[in-house]
A and B are shown apart, each in its own frame.
Chain A
């Protein structure tokens, strides 16, 4: 796992270093996080193609703030952002965190009081870490998902992100329910940017399709003033 961390850091640092000054674009957006962040970054790349906005992906699939033994975001992102020139940093993280946390040999089950306290501590610590970068910071909450159980967890986790972000005067972007159909239930389908009904969420009930990620990116870009 150590070699994986080193390799990931190398990739993140490489991306940042190579994203910088030469082409001197006015906006450089670093999208940080897991596979949902990757969807957002891909959508931004599509939407901003040919425009003076550079998108830097700092994404690692199947990671989060719970399994720090597997991938430590604090150690990785701090070094990566220090070497880059991103003037906007957008974070989407937590999609894989609805699972037990192990602290000193104890198992804290998701959404218990102790779990929430420990998770809030980790989120706060990560926000402090990433807050040391030079860019404007935005934390994007988790989207609604097909699974009711997971959705319940995500709502509680979003409340934690929102609270911790407010404590640090960090802008929180709420996307919950923003890609739903009119009847307000979770739906895999919605309006594309071209204004036609398309499948916007993948069959896994969580991730975004090619059309969906553009809708996702458009919503977040507007929320953070990029469009």
Chain B
């Protein structure tokens, strides 16, 4: 059941009405939302509902055991076991055959060719997201950042709540669980926020991402060797816009749907293409994953000490490498993660040296020199130039690395890079409309943030029917300007 479909609209309408009818009966409301979430999940493939329930119950029990133990060694062993079980589950479904395939390559390279025991495994939808939520829960309990949840219903609802179940955002227990025990309120601003987020998401997914994919990206990436250089260059820019519009759309609709049910999720994207460094970009792109990786990969790697130097760089690199592999069992994702990891290390090194150099200049300058001569106070141009260079490098590193992200295999990626430089030729698929759509979609990232929140505040006082009309006409308008059909969301595969 994809978000932008009549099936989901009908499903959500029933859930919305029933959930608000049960507003004052919190336990019944939770049970209803849990049943609705399992229906939503089972609509794709009912066979994995047991897996979802098993994962929820396992992490619930692990949380209780960890919290119930006062022995630090036992607590440590329990959290390690629970984390290993979660990773094992993900590893089995997602990486087993990739591992076997890589092992086959290795045996061929060593001249001891063997047939590996491959297994016919179907990847359960959303497994990367719900196992990450399970890991964050048990680790947070271990760190004593949250108390274990007593009710298995609450835990199951936290893991399976349908707006975020299959493609995130990765919600934290500390943020979501306390909301379950409060009587939900449906304010005008919450409704307006929900409607605006849903409309924004629908526009990005069904119009922008769809046009870019169908008219340019899919044809070019399917046959890079036969595309012109102009189309290849345009498609690699358009692709990052497509991924952004596709995934941020899912997040917007998820956050909007949750808001309409009375729950608040944190922002998952915040104008990432307007950033001037890679570190900044990762603080604004898929924020729930970046912060997850920071809290549950980078920090454990770092330990209690705040490392500097090569150990810190190694940890940054490994975190991004793992982040890359999380996206899929393919060497293309490993390389994508390695590019980002290496680039972040280089960026941090340059920043540290730059900072040291500036400090040494300040120390050498006579007292008051910065004020009196202005030599150390940057002019507007001097301030703009580094920001522009930072943006230019960051953006292009992101778009070029995305070629690995989009390519089905390494040979296609290599072919893409080769053809981009050598093919020549003008724009054949890159129409002025596609070019304008790409540029405009990047351009909006330079506008001040918080615009949607301000509009929601302003229209939050409208009557219910007026807000309903806004949503209705908005969806109608999007349906009119958008192409027919709905492509699956890119992040479903992860």
Nearest to A207 among chain B residues (CB) is B408
Q: Which residues of B contact A62 (CB under 8 A)?
A: 214, 218
Residues of B within 8 A of A1 (CB): 483
A112 to B116, CA, bound (A): 43
B157 within 8 A of A: no
Tell me the smallest distance from the CB of B322 to a CB of chain A, in Å.
Answer: 20
Contact status B226-A196, CB under 8 Å: no
Q: Report B114 CB to chain A, min CB distance, Å.
A: 8
Residue of B nearest to A191 (CB): B115
B411 sits at the interface (CB 8 A): yes
Instruction: Tell yes or no: A4 within 8 A of B by CB.
Output: yes
B276 interface residue (CB < 8 Å to A): no
Query: In the complex the two chains form, is B101's CB within 8 Å of A57's CB?
Result: no
Residues of B within 8 Å of A8, CB to CB, are 219
- Mask, B459-485, CB within 8 Å of A = 1, is 000000000000000000000000111
Contact A7 B97 (CB under 8 A): no
A-B contact count (CB 8 A): 66
Does B400 sit at the interface, judged by CB under 8 A? no
A11 with B226: CB separation less than 8 A: yes
Report whether A59 and B222 are in contact in the complex, using a CB–CB cutoff of 8 Å: yes
B108 A196 Cβ-Cβ under 8 A: yes
Docked CA distance A7–B220 (Å):
12
Set of chain B residues within 8 Å of A35, measured between Cβ atoms: 222
Of B108, B123, B214, which contacts A4 at CB under 8 A? B214
A98 within 8 A of B: no
Q: Is the CB of A196 within 8 A of B215?
A: no
In-complex Cβ contact of B428 among A11, A45, A57, A189 (8 A): A11
Contacts of B215 on A, CB cut-off 8 Å?
3-4, 7
Roughly how many angstroms separate A12 CA and B433 CA in the complex, as a whole number?
Answer: 21
The contact string, 1 if C-beta is below 8 Å from chain A, for chain B 179-223, is: 000000000000000000000000000000000001100110011
What string of 1s and 0s marks CB contacts (under 8 Å) between A1-40 and chain B?
1011001101100110000000000000000000100100
- The answer to whether B219 touches A199 (Cβ under 8 A) is no
- Residues on the A chain within 8 Å of B484, using CB: 70
What's the least CB distance linking B481 to chain A, in Å?
A: 13
Give every chain B residue within 8 A of A189 (Cβ-Cβ): 118, 120
* A59 CA / B225 CA spacing, docked (Å): 13
In the bound complex, how far is the Cα of B225 from the Cα of A187, in angstroms?
A: 30
Closest CB of chain A to B351's CB: distance in Å?
39
B409 touches A197 (CB 8 A): no
Q: Are A197 and B116 in contact (CB under 8 A)?
A: yes
Smallest CB gap from A187: residue in B: B120
In B437-494, the 8 Å CB interface with A consists of 483-485
A171 contacts chain B at the CB level, 8 A cutoff = no
Is B123 within 8 A of A203, CB to CB? Answer: yes
Contact in complex: A198, B104 (CB < 8 Å): yes
Chain B residue contacts of A133, Cβ below 8 A: none
- Number of residues on chain A facing chain B (CB within 8 A): 32
Indicate if A194 sits at the interface (CB-CB under 8 A).
yes
B258 proximity list for chain A (CB < 8 A): none
Report how far A60 CA is from B216 CA in the complex, Å: 11
Q: What is the CA–CA distance of A6 and B101 in the complex, to the nearest angstrom?
A: 41
Which residue from B108, B114, B214, B227 sits with its C-beta under 8 Å from A194? Answer: B108
A199 touches B97 (CB 8 A): yes
Per-residue CB contact flags for chain B residues 390-429 toward chain A (1 = under 8 Å, else 0) read 0000000000000000001101000000000000000011
A70 to B115, CA, bound (A): 44
**B221 closest partner in A (C-beta):** A61
Question: Looking across the interface, which residue of chain A has its beta carbon closest to that of B430?
Answer: A7
Mark contacts of A32-70 with chain B using CB atoms, 8 A cut-off: 1 yes-contact digit, 0 otherwise.
Answer: 000100100000010000000000010111100000001
Which of chain A's residues have a CB closer than 8 A to the CB of B409?
209-210
* CB atoms of A61 and B222 under 8 A apart: yes
Nearest neighbor of B94 in chain A, beta-carbon distance: A203
Residues of B within 8 A of A4 (CB): 214-215
Complex Cα spacing A45 to B415, Å: 12
Select A188's contact among B120, B222, B411, B428, beta carbons within 8 Å: B120
What residues on B are CB-neighbors of A202 within 8 Å? Answer: 408
By a CB distance below 8 angstroms, the chain B residues around A38 are 222-223
Known pairs A188-B120, A189-B118; A197 contacts B219 (CB<8 A) = no
List residues of chain A with CB within 8 A of the CB of B116: 197
Instruction: Tell me if A188 and B226 are in contact (CB < 8 A).
Output: no
Q: Are B431 and A7 in contact (CB under 8 A)?
A: yes
Cα–Cα, bound, A7→B429 (Å): 6
CB distance from B227 to the nearest CB of A (A): 8
Q: Bound complex: CA of A203 vs CA of B226, how far in Å? A: 26
- Measured between beta carbons, the chain A residues less than 8 angstroms from B123 are 203
Tell yes or no: B113 within 8 A of A by CB: yes
Task: Provide the bound-state CA to CA distance between A63 and B227, in Å.
Answer: 19
| Residue among B226, B408, B431, B484 with most chain A CB within 10 A | B226
Binding site for A on B (CB under 8 A): 97, 101, 104, 108, 113-116, 118, 120, 122-123, 214-215, 218-219, 222-223, 225-227, 408-409, 411, 428-429, 431, 433, 483-485
A4-B215, A7-B431, A62-B214 known; 10 other A-B pairs, CB under 8 Å?
A: A3-B433, A11-B219, A14-B226, A45-B225, A61-B218, A70-B484, A146-B122, A187-B120, A188-B120, A197-B115
